[in-house]
Amino acid sequence: MDAPTREDLLDRCVEFHGHLCLGQVLGVRLAVKGMELIRTQDRKEMIVFIENDRCIADAIQVVTGTRIGRRSAKLVPYGKMAATFLCTETGEAYRVNVRSVNPRSAHSADDMKRTLHAPDAELLAWRRVSLSLKPDELPGKPRRTVNCIRCGEKVFDGRDIDDGSGPLCPACAHGPYYETVDEGV
């Protein structure tokens, strides 16, 4: 079976994401280059650290087959058009980023097609990097779960904080990202 073309990959991404945009095109390019650099297309052999939560995140997950829910895609909220690709079999990792692209100048279908087929070195930059992951950060079943001593909710994968009195969830230890309106059920 032939490898999918960039157009095929982009079509899959657009179907998942809901519309064609420059972020989808750039996400395809980042993902293809990242997998080429770590020399695998097997989603079970890679972890991808995606540096923003916009359109490229969907495209990178579709192309690589990695998923946040499988812990093989990880969101690092830097707000950058970049991702780091780790081959779990070899430990080799590369960070790939988009060189300066003016999103306002690449809205037409022709502009996006040019971006989809631009030479790698013109569109992207990459460098080999080193990553150090704790066992709790790896894909697979949770290695540890505890209950927060304050709210009682279960906390997975070493995300708890022990202030000396026992395990606390991050919300109880540092304050939640939300404000409770009513106590609910």
pLDDT at res. 140: 87
Model confidence band, residue 135 (pLDDT cutoffs 50, 70, 90): confident
- Confirm if 66 and 47 have CB atoms less than 8 A apart: yes
* CATH tag, 6-134: 3.30.1330.130
pLDDT at res. 102: 61
Radius of gyration over every alpha carbon of the chain, rounded to an integer in angstroms: 19
Q: Write down the mean pLDDT value for the chain.
A: 92
Strand-pair category, 46-50 with 82-87: antiparallel
Mean pLDDT, residues 165-180 taken together: 94
The domains of the chain are located at 6-134, 141-174
Q: The tokens of 64 are what? A: 């690589």
CA distance 55 to 48: 15
Give me the amino acid identity at 184. Answer: G
pLDDT at res. 47: 97
Mean pLDDT, residues 59-74 taken together: 96
- In the chain, the N- to C-terminal Cα span, in Å, equals 53
CA distance 62 to 173: 35
pLDDT at res. 2: 80
